[in-house]
Amino acid sequence: MKRRAAGLILCVGLLGCGKSEPLAQSTVRGRVLFQGRALAGGTIAFTPHPERGPPGKSAIATLDDNGEFRLKSAGTAYLPAGWYRVAVAEAASADAGYTSTFPMELNRPDKSGLDREVIAGRENVFEFAVELR
């Protein structure tokens, strides 16, 4: 009988007996600079890392005139904590003769090399400074 009681205490106390804990939530904001200037009107996306990230969909935001963003996911200002791959894209230009110098690999989270960890229970602030090499 003592073994069963110890097993039940272990199950309830440590494992929750199959009850899943809600994912820890956090807010994410930041700024994107390109060649030292705000990337106004661009887009940023945080996509859950396939091996280290939380389950769920990408969170996407448009950059304001100062290159600043505040991410939202599923209609809320909160993201599950964990690792994300980040993609950044500049705003489309209406100028037909415009040639972009923005690095194309940053448009894809699997190619950008920008991984960030969103830490639970706090406001996470990230700055991305993109420079041409």
Report residue 23's pLDDT band, with 50, 70 and 90 as the boundaries. low
The structural domain count of the chain equals: 1
Q: In DSSP terms, which residues pair with 125 in a beta bridge?
A: 29
**101 domain-assigned:** yes
Alpha carbons within 13 A on the beta-carbon side of 126: 23
**108 domain-assigned:** yes
CB 102 within 8 A of CB 34: yes
Report residue 75's pLDDT band, with 50, 70 and 90 as the boundaries. confident
**38 domain-assigned:** yes
Residue 2, Cβ neighbours under 10 Å: how many?
A: 6
Report residue 80's pLDDT band, with 50, 70 and 90 as the boundaries. very high
CATH code at position 83:
2.60.40.10
pTM of the model: 0.78
- Domain extent, residue 45, equals 22-130
**124 domain-assigned:** yes
**68 domain-assigned:** yes
The span from the CA of 109 to the CA of 84, in Å, is: 9
Query: If you search the block for the tokens 């494992």, which residue do you land on?
Result: 15
